[in-house]
Amino acid sequence: MLQLSVLKEQTDLAIAGLTKKHYKNAAAEIAAILETDQRRRKVQLENDDVLSRSNSLAREIGNLMKSGEKAKAEELKAETAELKAKSKTLGEELATLENELQQMLVKLPNIPHESVPEGRSAEDNENIFQHGEIPTLHEGAMPHWELIKKYDIIDFDLGNKITGAGFPVYKKQGARLQRALINFFLDEALKAGYTEIQPPILVNEASGFGTGQLPDKEGQMYHATEDNYYLIPTAEVPITNIYRDEIIPREKLPIKNAGHTPCFRREAGSWGADVRGLNRLHQFDKVEIVQIQEPEKSYEALEEMSKYIQSLLQKLELPYRVLRLCGGDMGFTSALTYDMEVYSAAQGRWLEVSSCSNFETYQANRLKLRYKGENGKTQLLHTLNGSALALPRIVAAILENNQTPEGIKMPKILHSYLGFEVIK
């Protein structure tokens, strides 16, 4: 959630930023927010004056009672009763205005960083780095949805029988590949200084609000209605919410956590090559990295996270590219996002496998996540996260890019985790 102070003091910057994200009516909505805040402050000031007068009268009544001037004291008591009634009315009006202001603020997305390029869609994203050679496959090479049937390692029909579309069953060497990747990603995260977390995969509304999934993405989340819990779309939600309503001692910063969880997303897209097989699922596994940083260090941390994620792709011997997302393709809560995409040779296209973002104070403002700066003043922290990595498309690229007529070769880095070198 954007800070009200930013909208007041940097109105033009906020309007320009929201316009870059192609948010409609930015100027009008910010003007409405500022007008509502002005009304709120006017009512607050009036209520403060009423309470001050009431407190003053209470002291005066006490003195009159002590001096035996009961008649005059009773007159003032009547005035005090009127003031209390007025304060109650003003308090109710204030609560209404504060709720109205909150509802208006949560609708606004984050302001993009100045380096975010202009653009409306994925076609306008900026390719800032590319690594590795595109593999040349043998004649008769297959996309992964055919390979998994040939080698009997992932079964979509079984998943559909047990649950529904988008819930695959991993088995045999496919299950071992999943486990190997999870352990590899977690081990690498530990080496990079992250603390491993195993959080719940169900969260309450406050957690969904804290990281920005609610009220923006209710339709994309599975909802356990009886208990009003939500299945997590990413480990970012529970891990970041560990620090909700906390003031973090400065000496404990930065906080670097990593966690593996299953992830659940209701939207899986329509039928087509871009969503076939492992390309888009309702349930998938992912290792997430999360950092909580001092504001002046957060963009340095974002670059560090991007390079760390790239190192995983390099160790898996996958060709990849790094995109800086344009304003129109960015997430609601992000100030700057890098997407990492691997090249899928059999499909002949790039697949997103990681999204790495700096949210600046947007999530922290919702979470009330703060620290005390050098001047002793309490300030909001910056939050960051990244997929390191999401498994389905990584598996798809490994299977497709490494296929041979004799079998599918596994990346060397995974051999010790797998216990085999080739899927046959």
Do residues 99 and 127 share a domain?
no
Domain count, the chain: 2
Look up the CATH number of the domain holding residue 290: 3.30.930.10
Predicted TM-score of the model (pTM): 0.93
Kindly tell me the burial class for residue 183, based on how many C-beta atoms sit within 10 Å of its own C-beta (0-12, 13-18, 19 or more): middle
Do residues 92 and 153 share a domain?
no
Do residues 379 and 411 share a domain?
yes
Question: What are the pLDDT digits (tens) for 96-126?
Answer: 999 999 999 999 999 999 999 999 999 999 9
Do residues 334 and 375 share a domain?
yes
Domain boundary pick from 105, 139, 166: 105
Phi-psi region of 172 (alpha: psi -120 to 50; beta: other; left: phi over 0): left
**Of the candidate ranges 64-73, 197-206, 371-380, the one whose mean pLDDT is the lowest:** 64-73
Q: Which residues are annotated as a binding site for L-serine?
A: 234, 265, 288, 385
Q: Report the distance separating Cα 420 and Cα 13, nearest Å.
A: 55
pLDDT-derived band at 270 (thresholds 50, 70, 90) equals: very low
> Is 15 within the bounds of a domain?
yes
Do residues 31 and 139 share a domain?
no
Mean pLDDT of 11-34: 97
Q: What are phi and psi of 130, to 5 degrees?
A: -140, 140
How many residues does the structure list for the chain?
A: 424
Do residues 137 and 179 share a domain?
yes
Least Cα distance to 62 among 75, 78, 73, 50 occurs for: 73
Evaluate if residue 76 carries a pLDDT over 90: no
Q: Report the distance separating Cα 168 and Cα 130, nearest Å.
A: 31
Which structural domain range is residue 354 located in?
Answer: 122-423
Do residues 29 and 155 share a domain?
no
Q: Are 321 and 130 in contact (CB under 8 A)?
A: yes
Question: What are the pLDDT digits (tens) for 355-371?
Answer: 999 999 999 999 999 99
SS in 3 state form for the chain? CCCHHHHHHCHHHHHHHHHHCCCCCHHHHHHHHHHHHHHHHHHHHHHHHHHHHHHHHHHHHHHHHHCCCHHHHHHHHHHHHHHHHHHHHHHHHHHHHHHHHHHHHCCCCCCCCCCCCCCCCHHHCEEEEEECCCCCCCCCCCCHHHHHHHHCCEEHHHHHHHCCCCCCEECHHHHHHHHHHHHHHHHHHHHCCCEECCCCCEECHHHHHHCCCCCCCHHHCCEECCCCEEECCCCHHHHHHCCCCCEECHHHCCEEEEEEEEEECCCCCCCCHHHCCCCCCCEEEEEEEEEEECHHHHHHHHHHHHHHHHHHHHHCCCCEEEEECCHHHCCCCCCEEEEEEEEECCCCEEEEEEEEEECCCHHHHHHCCEEECCCCCEEECEEEEEEEEEHHHHHHHHHHHCEECCEEECCHHHHHHHCCCEEC
Q: Report the distance separating Cα 206 and Cα 382, nearest Å.
A: 19
Q: Report the distance separating Cα 159 and Cα 169, nearest Å.
A: 5
Handedness of CA 181, 184, 187, 191 (dihedral sign): negative
> Is 328 within the bounds of a domain?
yes
Do residues 91 and 162 share a domain?
no
> Is 114 within the bounds of a domain?
no
> Is 112 within the bounds of a domain?
no
> Is 265 within the bounds of a domain?
yes
Do residues 57 and 145 share a domain?
no
Q: Which residues are annotated as a binding site for ATP?
A: 265-267, 352-355
Mean pLDDT of 270-289: 85
> Is 200 within the bounds of a domain?
yes
Look up the CATH number of the domain holding residue 27: 1.10.287.40
Kindly tell me the burial class for residue 214, based on how many C-beta atoms sit within 10 Å of its own C-beta (0-12, 13-18, 19 or more): buried
Cβ atoms < 10 Å from Cβ of 217: 17
> Is 117 within the bounds of a domain?
no
Do residues 332 and 371 share a domain?
yes
Domain boundary pick from 105, 131, 160: 105
Q: Which residues are annotated as a binding site?
A: 234, 265-267, 288, 352-355, 385
Do residues 345 and 413 share a domain?
yes
> Is 67 within the bounds of a domain?
yes
Residue with tokens 């970012």: 236
Position 192: which residue type?
A
pLDDT-derived band at 218 (thresholds 50, 70, 90) equals: confident
Q: Are 144 and 381 in contact (CB under 8 A)?
A: no
Q: Report the distance separating Cα 302 and Cα 322, nearest Å.
A: 13
pLDDT-derived band at 273 (thresholds 50, 70, 90) equals: low
Do residues 144 and 194 share a domain?
yes
Angle at 408 between CA 131 and CA 282, to 5 degrees: 75
Question: What are the pLDDT digits (tens) for 164-199?
Answer: 999 999 999 999 999 999 999 999 999 999 999 999
